[in-house]
Chains A and B, each alone.
Chain A
């Protein structure tokens, strides 16, 4: 095979890439634009309560008719954030079970490091009307990128008929959320709080207020997050303003407070995910943090001094969302996979490992009394985790009380690009050190 020399021969082997190009359906730019236009019309019709199915829109990507035509390809390319799924000896038990029962192979890729740079990587393909290489991507609701995908019609509306587990088991937190009413495009992967983490050996009287981040007592030992949307929201909470109801003049006041915090020498640095390492090392004593990180660090007995505080001003609640980018080649496999994670048995295995806020409340019972394949999976994971499943099941950070959820705060919902620019112009200079 490998050495076919056929210069000048007409009937010889043709470059496989050329074959693909000739045999596979391609979207031209005009077609793509046509689809976008039609998508918009159907979206508008849907908003006005009409059933959008009409002759012209029948084959629109994501319509019921379009979904009916899709076939399983027994493969799905899943792009997720690192350390976000159960791992056992380099494999993922939950995904293995999925492959065993459905025959769909999952290429699980931990390629999303942050929303902005991941979006930059998939955008050129989407803009050119091409497959991004991923059938499922996970984006956070607190950054603008998920909104951009919806605005630009770059997400495939989900197949309502394939959301059986979701409809049955999804918790109130992730069912028809404010950033995606009716779960038109997304299903949550996990949620979490951006709260405060501290070392209880070094911090004796933490109190219950966000003011600890602005306390001169901890000058040079306070870590802040470098995500402008996280940083700005904490600034708003600190001046007593609810981020979701804030105005531009509130943003300016919050930025002033954060500038002051910086010039007073309170901030050690603005960190990305690396803050947790610095908190463990003792470089910083108190820091903005993501809830699951602290819980995971606690599991390791060496770092049990790290404590999570949900401040009385409220903790920011975010959700990472699974969605199907347009031009996905395996949308039906993606739908099947996404819904599979709403089975409480599956979710119990995922949650035992990753300790963020579980989108499936019934997974708690499955952690305490597993009823199926998850029994063996949880048991085999136990030596790795080192704690009984009941600890995860009873953790308020994984299955929070309604009171906790009510006390959490949502992010500001940007209404235009101008607003995003205004926000960035206020908070980015603080982080970038100007």
Chain B
């Protein structure tokens, strides 16, 4: 026989779990379970004919595909890193300007920044393919005026892929940076000026350190999806700059090599998790959600 107060206490302790159970169930069914299925497929052997997979505990698949496709991993790392750095360099001044000089029209400027991204991801990339093609507006004009040699092309190059990545993921960099800059207490800045800091010193020693968590969050939010992206490479790139996302997509959708695709996905996941772990280690796990 439990006394009424103890029963109430027990209920009270259960309440948070009950309240979070819809979200927990969601996470379990649509994230944890698929993740475990994906990991289990890495150990299976699948028939390209029937598509059926049998558990064979094949631990060799993972090192095999990583070894086979290591060039594409390196390409992806470089492309994603370069695109992220370009995004940081481009969007920092924009975010800075909106946060400090946007005034009452901050929201308007933010919306202007986001408007192009209301169009679907694929359509935006396809339009770039159209603009940059050999017979497209830009190259025809430049070649017609002998500003470029006639053999020059953009599509199919690594440059086109990096440019596509940088363009498509720009808001993922700009918004966290804006949030970080916006939150800086103006009085801290005034204090710096009171203490005879000039604008450069105030920026380097006050603003920049205070935005570091935002920069790191922006880096992760841009780098991780860009690393696994295949749309930009597929549409704007060529055979010489295949990224790991393209390989995974081909393995799943064309070659029916589910074990290989799942193994490469698992490696991608581990690399992404490493980034997040590093963030939590250096800046604390509480701050990241403020930028999402």
Contact = CB atoms under 8 A, between A and B. Distances in A.
A34 interface: no
Interface string B220-245: 00000000000000000011111000
B21 interface: no
Interface in A102-142: 114, 116-117, 120, 123-124, 127
B48 interface: yes
A433 B47 contact: no
Contacts of A152: 49-50
A417 B47 contact: yes
B71 interface: yes
A231 to B, nearest CB: 12
A432 B135 contact: no
Given A226-B239, A281-B134, A148 B68 contact: no
Contact of B255 (A269, A428, A429): A428
A270 interface: yes
Size band of the interface chain A makes with B: 20 to 34
A250 B94 CA distance: 60
Contact of A434 (B49, B69, B238): B69
B52 A127 contact: yes
A432 B52 CA distance: 25
Contacts of A424: 255
A339 B153 CA distance: 48
A269 B240 contact: yes
A269 B238 contact: yes
A218 to B, nearest CB: 14
B84 to A, nearest CB: 23
Nearest to A430: B239
B238 A151 contact: no
A199 to B, nearest CB: 15
Contacts of B72: 432-434
A151 B49 contact: yes
B156 interface: yes
Interface string A277-310: 0000101000000000000000000000000000
A420 interface: yes
Contact of B51 (A123, A281, A283, A417): A123
Tell me which of A417, A428, A434 has the highest count of chain B C-beta atoms within 10 A of its own C-beta. Answer: A434
Contacts of A283: 134, 153
A270 B52 CA distance: 30
B250 A432 contact: yes
A338 interface: no
A300 B153 CA distance: 25
A212 B70 CA distance: 32
B271 interface: no
B268 to A, nearest CB: 17
A431 interface: yes
Nearest to B68: A434
Interface in B166-222: none
Contacts of B52: 127
A32 to B, nearest CB: 13
A148 B47 CA distance: 10
B247 A120 contact: no
Nearest to B238: A269
Contacts of B256: 116, 120
A420 B239 contact: no
A432 B247 contact: yes
B126 interface: no
Nearest to B69: A434
B239 A270 contact: yes
A417 B48 contact: yes
A151 B51 CA distance: 13
B36 interface: no
Contacts of B283: none
A116 to B, nearest CB: 5
Contacts of A281: 134-135
B137 interface: no
B254 interface: yes
Contacts of B240: 269, 433
B41 to A, nearest CB: 16
Contacts of B50: 123, 127, 148, 152
Given A283-B153, A417-B49, A120 B254 contact: yes
B76 to A, nearest CB: 12
Interface in A395-434: 417, 420, 424, 428-429, 431-434
**Shortest 3 CB-CB contacts between residues of A and residues of B:** A148-B49, A116-B254, A433-B242
29 contacts: A114-B254, A120-B51, A120-B253, A120-B254, A120-B256, A123-B50, A127-B51, A127-B52, A144-B48, A148-B49, A152-B49, A152-B50, A226-B239, A269-B156, A269-B238, A281-B134, A281-B135, A283-B134, A417-B47, A417-B49, A420-B48, A428-B255, A429-B68, A432-B239, A432-B250, A433-B240, A433-B242, A434-B68, A434-B70
